[in-house]
Structure 1
Amino acid sequence: MAEYDFVLDMDFSILRISAEAENKLGYTPSEISGKPFIEMIKTEYRDRTVSALKTKEKDFCFILGSDDVQHFIELEPCTLPDGTTGVKTVSLNPLTKEKSGAFSCFAEFIENIYDIYYSADIYGNITAISPSVFIYSGFTPEELIGKNLGSELYVYPALRETFKELIGKHGKVTAFDAPLFRKDGSIWWVSTSAHFIKNINGEIIGVEGIARDITDHKEGQEKLLRGIETRYKTLFESATDAIFIFDLRTKRIADANAAARKMTGYSLEELRKLMPEQLHPKYEFEKIHSYIVRKREEFGLKETVRLDFLSKHGDIVPAELTASVITEDGRKFSIDVARDISQRLATEKKQREQEQMIVHQSKLAAMGEMISNIAHQWRQPLSKMTGILTNLEMGIKQGNLARDEAETLIKEAFSTLKFMSHTIDDFKNFFSPSKPVEEFCINTALDEVLSIIEPNLRFHGIRVMIKAQENVFLRTYRSEFCQVLLNIIQNAKDILYLRRIAEPKIDIRITSGRGKTVIRVADNGGGIEHAAMGRIFEPYFTTRPDGQGIGLYMSKIIIEKNIKGTITARNTFEGAEFTIVL
């Protein structure tokens, strides 16, 4: 019977134990005789071991030694001639000292590596582990064999379930990181690569793998993450824009920075109790529910939305809002960034008021120029009217005024008055507010501008040379466009007059193509001083002794803000050139 490690009676109680088994398990015959064999087997293996003993089939299990050390074995039961059961056992621990040959070399190799070799059964109980585990965990291999990874060693048992899912799906796991408990209760981290172990019948009996200590790496990562989190929180709290973090599942505010608390007047605790719409006046509810909430829950607000907030004290706070959606642990959060634009709106309002004042001043200045132009326009007709009235007076006094001559003089007088009235109408139409947007011919508009200023130009001996494409049309604000042309031409006229240019001229060119219309107005007045070039479009900046510095500023406002074009200036060989691109 010496070839069997155990001999069991009909009830599978131990009758005899071999000397080799005694030595391996640490039991004496007197300690173990009569003891049920099943009581020595690890609980989760007992049913299958009973089945193996009854059917006399090979199986594997954990058997407990006298020193409470678990041994992972393969057992092979058979029926003996006297009706008892003989059981042979073979250690399945590849690191056991009873192995020889290749297994002995393997064990020697494993005992000398810093990484940890381990194997575990199908239940997650450790069946073998290399001595290096003591360095990292404080456990000896004997203390760990039989311990369950999921319930006794994993800090987070759910991670063990994840490990089992991965290895069950792929047959192997690579670089699986998990925190484990040390013997003293502290935590260390391992990165495991493992695969299934199968017996000669192809049946999975467990897993084996290599575990590497990555505690320093993980602690470094955690320290880095804590640093990043601290920096994030600092940036979050110090941001000048209000930031709200909404939990899209609960529809509540999860966090809000200092700027958000200041803008709304609520504490963080108060904000967390509010529904999102309670932060806005009622007239914003439709926008919030029909647009912002839907967009936020889908993929965030990619565009900026204008939205008013309602503070705790009832103040309306105008803001611009953007939102991004993030997912954290399967939950969606919306990060809403709201910028308080109260100051900007106040500045814009003040700027508009200033611009309106400048517009008014510009109109007054333009009216002064127009009065001058009207004076030039009326000088000749008034002289003519004086002559007609003088002839009528002398004819009446001398009594020699014929009827037909009187009618001719009266007809000329009416014609002259009609011309003067038409001139007034031209100026009135020029200064009347234009329609919001209208399509007009630039060539015609230029002719109208020149008809107003032409007598003044002629008086100063200034030639106007026009080179323009025919029938160039534009759709914009006609009156404002004409005002810009008038400003630029009058500036050129003033410079030509002040600098006493011998043969003064103004060149006007109009071209159109590729969706752009370009108007260039150039003079031969010597150009703009280099120091003044960068400031000519600033309000109240002028280089003329009698200038007000609002004409070019208004021209820039009209072209760039109202008409959405550009206006620039440069010096040419002869003088200055202004270019308008629409």
Structure 2
Amino acid sequence: MLLNRYIVFNFISSPVAVFGPNGDILFTNDAYKKRIKSIENKGLSEGVDCNEGIVFTTDKGLVRCYLVSSDIDDIGNAVCIFKEITPFVSRKSMTEIIASDSDSKNYALRKIVEKNLRMSSLIDNLESGIFVEGSSGSLIQVNNSFLKIISNTIFTELPTNEYDADFYHKLLAGLVDTDDYIKVKDEIISGHKSDTYVDEVRFKDGRIYTRTFKQLYVGDEPKGYLWKFKDITIRKELESFSIELEANLQALESNESVGIYMEYRGYKFVNKGLEQLLEADRDSLMCRGLKEYLGFDLHAGACGEVFNKTIEFKQKDGTPIYLDIVSDCVSIEGSPAHVITLKDCTENVLLHKDLERNESRFRNIFEKNLAVMLIFDSTTMKITNANQSAIKFYGKNIDELQGYGMCDITIVENMSECADKLSDIVLTGTGKRISAHQKVADGSIRNVELLISPLSKNEDNLLFVIVDDVHDRVRYEKELENLNENLIQLVEKEAVKRRRQEELLMEKSRLAEMGEMIGNIAHQWRQPLSSLAFLIQDLTDASAHNEINDEYIQDVVSKGMGQIDYMSKTIDDFRDFFKPCKKETVFDDKKDIGQVLSIFLPQVKNSDIDLHVSCSCENGSSSEMNTDTLTFCEDHAILIKGYANQFKQVLLNLLANSRHAVLKSVEKRIDVKLNANDKKVFIIVEDSGGGIPEHVISNVFDPYFTTKTEEGGTGIGLYMSKAIVEDNLGGTLKVENIDGGCRFTIEVDRVKG
């Protein structure tokens, strides 16, 4: 048990011995056993008290001197620690002390102890690392600073000879940045025994030390070597820093983008950038300092502290700018250096304020908007934020919604297509619309459209969603679609009904015109029938008077056949007029106008109406139709496209209306004009019938509207005429009043022949 109590002393490099109350040695550590061969126990009790003493030992004839410090432990044993001071005691002093009497010996011992303690204390307090070794290679002393120098050593195995100087030289050899440390050390010892040697040693970790070597003497007798290591790493760095600082200051001098102000050991530095920012000259800035211009002290506190602030600064013209100020204090060679930088950050501040305003607006719009809005992460599909409308729409609080994924509330018919659209939104940065179904607060499934777009370019994974509830719209669209289908059917029925009515009206109009035609034929046949009757009567008279001969018979036959041919031609014209025309054709309207006029002419003559027909050619000439021969000029053909019989029907209806209009007029006149240019053909019918009252002229083309009620007018003639011109001839039919009558104008496209 006693051995275990003191076994910890085996880890101490100095010799340690424990003595019992009777002076018996109870324990010695490993260093004691190796370095102290014989000790006179008597000397411990006679010449040394329990606090201090000197012990001499011999090892192969070599005398060593140890300073002993002792103390009594808690069980009354004396614990003695031996520190070698051989290099500090000359051989002569050792001999005198050993040979002196007790009083002299004690006095000499105290003097040596005092000297050793003073020297040891002095060495331990030195900032430089001290390493003292004896001439024989033994370790005399290392101070705390030296131990710090070698504190980074990594042992490959536990040291067993740490009390030898060579052990520490080997440690240093492993730390320095060269492979010949031991060789250089030996050369220094052998070559500089009488002087002091100084050089620089660079360690592998970047530290730099001045190494000082000095031979130690006790009297004239060499006793050992002193090695001193002084850390000059910072000084070397400062020397390099000074060079760099000078170069940097020159570069900063012309820097106009950043203002720099520096104070160091009474020296002030101001660059051009600071002059421009504060609109002040260098002398004023260096004389007054920055506080004069900025209104407060910018110097940082202790070295290493950094002061940072953004302020508003008004320039001389009152324009405000924003300055980003950084004040730092660094130590250069032990002296504080205050470095202050000013940078115009107006643009950044204004952008930041705009960003804050926009963020506030967005947040306000997002939170208070009536539209349902969500933000979700495209990588996890988790909802990260929702507005109040969304909370109400889904019936969940914000914490619940933030735990939901979009798939928890959304049903998409084509998930693959949806995923492709989301990927495209993230890659291209453009929004898209996705149709889906979502579960809402009342548990129902509603049709929605998701308007998804990236939240911002810097947050690529976040997508902004506006949820448009289109459930009612989809329902209305379906109802409207069904209604449209029913409406289409109704329209088709009405269209069929209307076509049937128009066909009936057309037929009625044709029958009315047929009646007009039959009347015209009756007028045309009266004269030839009368002529035939006269010929028959004349034949009877000629037979009674014996006047019949070949010449007479030939004359009667010729005249009779002429009248019959005329009547036959009338029948052909009537038949051609009412012959159905099922196909569009290109026809010469001059020819068809002539046919209509030949049918209409007998009524004109019987009614004593003056009929004038004219044609204006594109070459500027004008000719008037001969009412007897009914022929136009033959300079050119005027071709139009459509249904020829319908065209004749329209013209006959206009002529019939004009005839009825002029019957009661004093001047009975109808003019038919044919005008044409390269693109258009104009057929004009004018009369002297007094015109149409202005209050009804806009209604003349309405179905069943007539001003001839007493004469039996149906009101369908002009309606059908306008429909034929516009629908089947691709033209227009217009009416206007002129002096003493009215004018109807048909305008159609001309076809190049």
TM-score by structure 1 length? Answer: 0.48
Larger radius of gyration: 2
Higher relative contact order (CA 8 A, sep 6+): 1
TM-score by structure 2 length? Answer: 0.38
